[in-house]
Amino acid sequence: MLFAVLFTIAIIIGLLRREQVKAVGLLSALASLTLIVGAFNGINVTYSIFGLEFTFMTDTLSRFFCILVGISGFAVSIYTTEYMEPRHLNLAAYPAFILSMALIVISRDFLGFIIFWELMTIASYILIVTYYDSPETKRASLIYFVAMHAFNTAPLLLAIGAIYSNFGTLSFSALQGAYVPTWVIWAFLIGFMSKAGIFPIHFWLPEAHPVAPSNVSALLSGTMLKMAIYGMIRVIELFPGSEAIARTMVVLAVLTIAVGAIMALVQKDIKRLMAYSSVDNMGYLFLALGAYIMLDGTLKKIAFLALLLHAFNHLVFKNLLFMLSGNVLHATGRKDLELRGLGKKMPFTAAMMVVGILSVSAVPPLNGFISKWLIYQATFLSKDPLLVGGGVVSLFASALTLAAYIKIYRIFGGEPNVEAHEAAPLMLAGESILAFLCVAAGIFPGVIAGLLDVEVGNPWLISLGGATFNALLFAGVLLSIILAVAIALPTKKNLDTPWTTGEPAEKFEQRPEHMFAPVSRWGEKLGIIGRKIEKKLSAFERWYSSRDMGYLDEMVFMPVIRLMAGTSYVIRELSKNLNALLAVTFLVLFTIILTMAVLVGVI
């Protein structure tokens, strides 16, 4: 548990010295490395605090996710040393965030799980409100906070509470194979789905991820969402009877894929686009998970491999993409799609962006292709129409993703319209690690599969039950053809200006928002529908609050209303001072946990 110690030191430094970005970043990076090493060695410790027993142990699944957290923690922390702007508590929250995620995946009981889960939510919330003076941040953070607690923590708490009341224990080993009521599994599903941003609880994601600083967005999109997947896998592994939720999961996942991809297409802000793309990718993960539950035999193995491999790949390229958007934001102060000509001053960023875009669009020989290919194998060969339909929608969404990210690529072409400079070397270093992984995992996917103890033949192949893809061979052939042709027919540098058919033309381009007009219209329609639903909901609320209460109702409800009004007044007053608000939140949370502990009978 050396990594925990290192992270705690980082947290303390962050609390005491609020300016030491480099120290905190480097310590976090070091800690992440230790996490990876520790995961490989295996962890098995138990601690007793206040009479509560916390067990931390790695099995294959935990080890894999530890490595995931470690890789992203390492790369992003190196990036953070040059990027992060220290503000109130965020320097302390950053290592706390990564630490909590690491502890979630190695906890061996639900108590530790939920405590560190909530810690993760709080830490991420603190990080999201870094720029608390801007109105969008205020709005986004409120949505995030309320949505998370209403749809994520509450169902989880209910489910865990029910488990405890049924079985009297929260440890995984004791609960293995226990029969829980179906509603508990549904509660888990709702909880984890909301955390992952599955339709219909996806609306908080595009609000929260863009307003956070880019390194935090990377961790949020790349790593935190995977915790939901981890939790869901754990639940399915522990409790039988998950077939009930499989179909619903697949249907919702397919909807998420479609909605995420289409909405990504019509965005004008780079980070919002990437956030919707995360929604879309979470859809793929849940589709694979649903397939895993529904299928048997070789296809089940393929689905499992697809799920975890895609978790890895998405983590790697999403972190990369968000960090690159941070480069752009840092250099130009803007994150909209109107930028042009950044390729001249930021060549490395441009090159890695191309790698990222090709990965997210699942183009071979990069890593995104391998996991998507496995998902298609699992869905198309399943002979189940729902899954095949899911496969078709995935392919459609894949094409949409390419189209959406091409819009981002455009900021690098053409004549520059802002001042820009290349990012600091440490920032580039963090990104290049991930870019390298994108390529490496694309050419040697067997290595990643090996981490999961799945036999796929050679490290450069994926071969499962008849379906083979020889990644190295493909990459090799592609590269050799390119080199052969490039050497036989090279290109000299004869520069000239673009051809405007004879008369000078300004604004000689197609604007990104007018591209793909026939398809973008569907996206705009979806956005309009979403806004209409929002209006109807708030209309309902307005109608309700405008009703006059009858005398009897007043007697019953007024005290409660007054209590709520009083509480909201207090909170409003406190929110004027952010630190106080955070303190109160901590207090409330602590009270909840304490109450729960009391109810559970531990204390």
Partner 1 sequence: MIREFEEKFGSTLEKKVIAKNKVLYTLMVRREDFPNIINYILSRPNTRLFTMVGMDERNTEEAFSVTYWFLDWKDNEVIGIRLYVPEDEPYFPSVGAFHKGAIWFEREVQDLLGLKAEGLPDPRRLVLPDDWPEGVYPLREDFQYCHSPAGTKSYPYREPPEDSTVHPMGPYHVALDEPAHFRLFVKGEEIVDVDYRGFYSHRGIEKLARGRLNYNQIVFIAERICGICGFAHSVAYAQAVEEAAGIEVPDRARYIRTILLEIERLHSHLLWLGVAAHLTGFDTAFMRSWEIREQVMELAERLTGNRKTYGLVLVGGVRRDLLDYRKSLILETLKNLKREFDELVDMLVSTKSFVKRCEGIGVLPKEKAREWDTAGPLARASGIDYDTRKGLPYAAYDELSFDVPVYKDGDVLARALVRIDEVKESISLLEQAIDTIPGGPVMAEFNEIPSWKEGISAVEAPRGENTHYVMTGEVNRIYRWRVKAPTYNNLQAVPDMLRGYTIADAPLIVASIDPCYSCTERVQVVDVKSGKTKVISLGGGIGTCP
Partner 2 sequence: MEIIGAIIAPFLPPLLDGVARKVKAMIQNRVGPSILQTWYDIITLLSMDSILPTSSLAFRLAPYVALASALCMALMLPYGSDAIINFGGDLIAFIYVFTLFSAALVFGALSVDNSYSHAGANRELTLSLVFKPLFAITIGIFALKTGSLSITEIARSISLSPSIIGAYLLLLYVTYVESGFIPYDIAEAETEILEGPLTEYSGRLLGLFKWALQIKRFAMIWLFASFVALPVAKGAAAFALQLLVFLLTYLLMVTYESLNARHRLDQATKQGVKGIIIGVIIMIIAWLGW
470 touches partner 2 by CB under 8 A: yes
> Is the CB of 310 or the CB of 372 nearer to partner 2?
372
**Residue 95 parent element (H or E):** helix 90-106
Partner from partner 2, partner 1, none contacting 491, C-beta within 5 to 8 A by type = partner 2
List helix spans (H) across 152-242: 154-167, 172-175, 182-196, 205-211, 214-218, 225-238
User: Minimum distance from CB of 465 to partner 2 (Å)?
Assistant: 11
501 touches partner 1 by CB under 8 A: yes
Token pair for 234: 């754990």
Helices 154-167 and 578-600: angle between axes, nearest 10 degrees: 20
Token pair for 169: 């224990």
> Is the CB of 521 or the CB of 535 nearer to partner 1?
521
User: Minimum distance from CB of 4 to partner 2 (Å)?
Assistant: 42
User: Minimum distance from CB of 482 to partner 2 (Å)?
Assistant: 5
Partner from partner 1, partner 2, none contacting 362, C-beta within 5 to 8 A by type = partner 2
Tell which positions 74-133 bind partner 2, by CB under 8 A: none
Closest CA to 264 of 202, 193, 310, 218: 202
User: Minimum distance from CB of 355 to partner 2 (Å)?
Assistant: 12
Tell which positions 503-532 bind partner 1, by CB under 8 A: 503, 505-511, 514-515, 517
Partner from partner 1, partner 2, none contacting 502, C-beta within 5 to 8 A by type = partner 1
User: Minimum distance from CB of 516 to partner 2 (Å)?
Assistant: 5
> Is the CB of 130 or the CB of 377 nearer to partner 2?
377
Torsion angle of the four alpha carbons 423, 428, 431, 436, in this order, in degrees rounded to the nearest 10? 140
CA distance 299 to 288: 11
Helices 21-41 and 2-16: angle between axes, nearest 10 degrees: 170
Closest CA to 225 of 155, 162, 277: 277
User: Minimum distance from CB of 499 to partner 1 (Å)?
Assistant: 8
Query: CA-CA distances (angstroms) from residue 14 to 88, 93, 96, 280, 365?
Result: 10, 8, 10, 34, 41
Q: Residue 197 — φ and ψ, nearest 5°?
A: 85, 40
Closest CA to 303 of 290, 288, 286, 283: 288
510 touches partner 2 by CB under 8 A: yes
Token pair for 568: 């909201």
Tell which positions 106-125 bind partner 1, by CB under 8 A: none
16 touches partner 1 by CB under 8 A: no
How many residues touch partner 1 under the rule CB under 8 A: the total is 14
Partner from partner 2, partner 1, none contacting 506, C-beta within 5 to 8 A by type = partner 1
Partner from partner 1, partner 2, none contacting 503, C-beta within 5 to 8 A by type = partner 1
Tell which positions 441-500 bind partner 1, by CB under 8 A: 500
Residues lying near partner 1 in the complex (CB under 8 A): 500-503, 505-511, 514-515, 517
